[in-house]
Copies of this chain bind each other. A is one copy, B any other.
């Protein structure tokens, strides 16, 4: 389990007339979490794309426990539980300023060769960068209950 924490300020644009963050906004938050998770390793999603691999989303699960509100400063914890192979799964947990858990998301992305548009394995650039961190954490993982 390799985890990274980011913060996101809720925009007015992201609220709806219920005065909640619209349910379709959370995928954007997860995306920010994934990008910052990678950046922590000195890698960017832009670099992965430029290396010829795109990562379309294959599956998403989202649970809405409590609403996020305008101007909330959210804390998002992003984890990858398993070493990526043909796919990679990220888990995001979003908390408000009082530490209440608002939302849990699980996003699975595929690796696709941008040249052939065929599925491929996780790029070496990614694996070389993150594998040492997975080894460091071995045996210390606690599963996230969704």
Contacts and interface: CB of A to CB of B under 8 A. Distances in A.
Decide if the interface of chain A is mainly helix, strand, loop or mixed.
Answer: mixed
A56 B18 contact: yes
Given A11-B32, A12-B31, A17-B15, A56 B62 contact: no
A71 B35 contact: yes
Contacts of A17: 12, 15-19, 70
A98 interface: no
A59 B62 contact: yes
Contacts of A63: 58-59
Interface of A: 9, 11-13, 15-20, 22-28, 31-32, 35, 44-46, 54, 56-64, 67, 70-71, 107
